[in-house]
Amino acid sequence: MSPFAKSGLTLLAVLAAVSTVFALRFAWIQGHFTSVAPTAPPICRAVAQGIKDPADLAADSAHNALFVAATNRQAAQPYSDSQDGLYLLKLNDPGAAPVKLSGTPKDFHPYAISLYRGEDGAQTLLVADRRNNGRHFIETYDVTFDGDAPKLVAHSAIQSGLLVSPNGLAAASPDHFYVSNERVSRSELARFAEDYLLWPHSDLLAYNGQGFRIATQRLTAPAGLLVRYATLYVAVSNSRKIQAFTQDMMGYLEPLGELSLPARPSSLSVDEHGNLIVAGQTRPGSSQVFRVILDAQGAPLSYQTIFSDDGGVLKGASAAVIAGGQLFIGASSDSKVLACALK
């Protein structure tokens, strides 16, 4: 055999080995090597039925309110459904018909929200919104209540070329927040590398009231975010882990710790005991919710599975919050929110 033929065979063998490694890694991320054992509280019921893709949730226990961000991305023309918007559920009566909130633009398709409550009780709702023309905005709304009825007053709509594919959102103050870019590549080849070769190329953005800057990079599909005290938690979907960062007054981040999960995490919230509540999917279309225990420094230490379903009850869990003695689970591939009694 000629040297050229041997070199060609060696190259083919190397390419085959590399392809196998990437294929196995992608299969692992997609959950093909992970079993789904059903786990759920004893009483769960579907609420907010008919709302398409209620992908994110934010609870306001003080006002008996659950905010739901819904955008029908399964429509024939995504980001064009007039029913997309913010909805309100009552924590003490989630089975009542959801109320669509006014005060938002006509072309409004929210997919991530973060509710900030100041020491004086003033509340700000931050919303990641994708317009029909493909432009992304981070919008802020002042939230006031007349009894149980919330009123949204638009405060700002922020746009930047750094908002390539925003996914998660976390408020640190009314005008300081973090945004995760699920991917940052603009070419088809680079997007393929991020999505299927799991290239760690995505980033987190910090907004300081005047502009964006990159807070950290080299992440694999970061999704939900949560700010708690001086710690930022990130659900890193394609790494199947929760990462924690300490933040300084300027928003610069330093790694604090991380925890692997048997699922691709989508969103983060916190329960009344200070534990993280994480929604995600072991495999596409399934639904899992975990309680993540933190150590004394705030780093993720361990997890407990509090809800798990193969998709028969809820398809594609993307958000979960605990409020009013109930676990609420939203889904990016379903037309309902699941409410499960915990007491």
Give the whole-number percent of the chain exceeding pLDDT 70. Answer: 87
Strands 326-331, 317-323: parallel, antiparallel or unpaired by DSSP? antiparallel
Q: How confident is the model at residue 59 (pLDDT cuts 50, 70, 90)?
A: very high
pLDDT reported for residue 315: 94
Q: What is the dihedral of CA 128, 132, 136, 138, to 10 degrees?
A: -40
Q: How confident is the model at residue 5 (pLDDT cuts 50, 70, 90)?
A: low
* DSSP state letters, 185-207: --SHHHHHHHHHS----EEEEEE
pLDDT reported for residue 212: 95
Residue 326 near residue 275 (C-beta atoms within 8 A): no
| Lowest-confidence segment of 46-60, 239-253, 304-318 by average pLDDT | 239-253
pLDDT reported for residue 13: 52
Q: How open is the CA angle 23-29-30, to the nearest 5 degrees?
A: 90
Provide mean pLDDT across the span 2-31. Answer: 52
pLDDT reported for residue 92: 92
pLDDT tens track for 208-254: 999 999 999 999 999 999 999 889 999 999 999 999 999 876 667 89
Instruction: Flag whether pLDDT at 32 surpasses 90.
Output: no
Instruction: Flag whether pLDDT at 14 surpasses 80.
Output: no
pLDDT reported for residue 75: 82
pLDDT reported for residue 40: 64
CA distance 59 to 78: 26
pLDDT reported for residue 20: 52
CA distance 181 to 166: 4
Residue with tokens 């408020």: 171
Instruction: Flag whether pLDDT at 55 surpasses 60.
Output: yes
Q: Which pTM value belongs to this model?
A: 0.89
Superfamily of structural domain 31-341: TolB, C-terminal domain (2.120.10.30)
Residue 87 near residue 101 (C-beta atoms within 8 A): yes
pLDDT reported for residue 41: 74
Q: Strands (DSSP E) along 149-199, which ranges?
A: 149-158, 166-173, 176-181
Taking residue 223's Cβ as centre, other Cβ atoms within 10 Å add up to 24
Instruction: Flag whether pLDDT at 308 surpasses 60.
Output: yes
Instruction: Flag whether pLDDT at 18 surpasses 50.
Output: no
Instruction: Flag whether pLDDT at 169 surpasses 70.
Output: yes
pLDDT tens track for 183-212: 888 888 877 777 777 778 899 999 999 999
Residue with tokens 């983060």: 268
CA distances from 215 to 247, 255, 287 (A): 10, 12, 30
- Calculate Rg over the CA atoms of the chain: 21
Q: Which of 235, 305, 226, 228 is nearest to 274 (CA)?
A: 228
What phi, psi does 212 have (nearest 5°)? -95, 155
pLDDT tens track for 110-160: 999 999 999 888 999 999 999 999 999 999 999 999 888 899 999 999 999
Q: How confident is the model at residue 7 (pLDDT cuts 50, 70, 90)?
A: low
Strands of the sheet with 231-236, listed across from one edge: 222-228, 231-236, 241-247, 253-260
Q: How open is the CA angle 142-46-280, to the nearest 5 degrees?
A: 70
Instruction: Flag whether pLDDT at 337 surpasses 50.
Output: yes
Q: How confident is the model at residue 296 (pLDDT cuts 50, 70, 90)?
A: very high
What residues contact residue 80 under an 8 Å CB cut-off, 6+ apart?
Answer: 109, 132
pLDDT reported for residue 38: 64
CA distance 182 to 213: 16
For residues 95 and 23, the model is more confident at: 95
CA distance 16 to 214: 36
Instruction: Flag whether pLDDT at 29 surpasses 80.
Output: no
Residue with tokens 């559920």: 89
CA distance 277 to 292: 6
Which residue ranges make up each domain of the chain? Answer: 31-341
Q: Which of 285, 245, 250, 294 is nearest to 266 (CA)?
A: 285
Q: What is the dihedral of CA 140, 72, 194, 30, to 10 degrees?
A: 120
Average pLDDT, the chain: 88
